[in-house]
Amino acid sequence: MSGPKHRRDGVGTACEVVAALVAAAFLAVAGVLAVEAWGAADLGFLFDPSSRVADRAGIGPALAGTLWLAALTVAFALPVGVGAAVYLEEYAPRGGVVAAAGGAVENLAGVPSVVYGVVGLALFVRGLGMGPSLLAGGCTLAALALPTVIVTTRSAIRAVPCGLREAAYSLGATRWQVVRGQVLPAAAPGIVTGSCAAVTRTVGEAAPLLVLGAVSFMTFAPRSPADPLTSLPTQVFAWSARSQEDFAAAAAGAGVALLLVLLVVNLAALAVRRRLRGIPA
């Protein structure tokens, strides 16, 4: 694992300082949250259902809801997003329509999340009759993550050396064999990185879920995607809007839990990426 020796120069030092500042800021945020959350900190907090009494309120349903939402978002956004990116890069004829579609996708990535909530409310909650369920939330968050997944996957695919494709084609590989055997494996680390960023960003969203009708008081943990929509970010929002001071601690505790969930997702992605790179390269 001995990398090339990095020369210590001005730019390198500046980068290190910036990196240290970012890390310090993250630790500060986590620290403030932890101090705030101290009152609520016990194991029961993680698993207990909501309560009208701040001391007894837990994040069990919200935590389970966020895990469901993360799983649903990945399950919907990853195959559709990667599929769309592969189609746009490798199959679609070059020209006006594809360029327009690409531009549209990039614009979608810039649409505010609350707007996705409004669309999700009309389309999933009412139109398709899903009601304010985890499924509707997962679909909405997947739609929110989709443009970013597509954009990052396309750039990962474009970064695959041209010679690799040509070598495979020249050896009589079909288009699908080239995509499946060469392009996707070479692009996989980039796809994982981009998708992970998209999913963690989306799972931390409260606004679209509030529009869909997320509940903040649930007495049981959701067991299926058809159960009512609840999540950590909406729970944080609901508790922080209340006047009792004790609920502030609960809100901070839920915030810490959310950070931990996202940290775990990132570490999982890191592990996947290392495995992908571990293939003899």
Partner 1 sequence: MSAPSAARAEVPVLAADRLTVRFGDRTALADVTLAVPRGRVVSVIGPSGGGKTTLLRAFNRMNELVPGAATTGTLRFNGVDLHGEEVDPVEVRRRIGMVFQQATLFPRSIFDNVVFGPRARGHAGDLLELAEEVLVAAGLWSEVAEDLDRPAMQLSAGQRQRLCIARTLALKPEVLLLDEPTSALDPAATARIESLIHSLRRDHTIVLATHGRRQAARLSDFTAYLAGGELIEYGPTEALFTNPRDRRTESYLTGRIA
Residue 49 or 181 with smaller CB distance to partner 1: 181
Residue 1 or 171 with smaller CB distance to partner 1: 171
**Shortest Å, Cβ 260 to partner 1:** 36
Residue that is written with structure tokens 């509940």 in the block: 215
Tell me the longest C-alpha to C-alpha distance in the chain: 70
The answer to the question of residue 2 lying near partner 1 (CB under 8 A) is no
The answer to the question of residue 165 lying near partner 1 (CB under 8 A) is yes
The answer to the question of residue 156 lying near partner 1 (CB under 8 A) is no
The answer to the question of residue 209 lying near partner 1 (CB under 8 A) is no
> Among 144-152, 177-185, 188-196, 224-232, which window interacts with partner 1 (CB under 8 A)?
177-185
Comparing CA positions, the residue from 197, 215, 216, 218 lying closest to residue 270 is 197
**Shortest Å, Cβ 175 to partner 1:** 8
The answer to the question of residue 86 lying near partner 1 (CB under 8 A) is no
Residue 238 sits at the vertex; the CA angle it makes with 234 and 239, to the nearest 5 degrees, is: 120
DSSP code string of 47-111: H----SSGGG---HHHHHHHHHHHHHHHHHHHHHHHHHHHIIIIISPSSHHHHHHHHHHHHHTTS
Residue 164 or 260 with smaller CB distance to partner 1: 164
From the list 169, 207, 266, 276, which residue makes contact with partner 1 (rule: CB under 8 A)? 169
DSSP code string of 183-197: IHHHHHHHHHHHHHH
Site string for partner 1, 91-120 (x = CB under 8 A): ---x--------------------------
Which tokens in the block code for residue 271? 């592990």
Q: Residue 199, Cβ neighbours under 10 Å: how many? A: 27
The answer to the question of residue 276 lying near partner 1 (CB under 8 A) is no
Which residues make up the interface to partner 1 (CB under 8 A)? 94, 161, 163-174, 177, 181-182, 186, 279-281
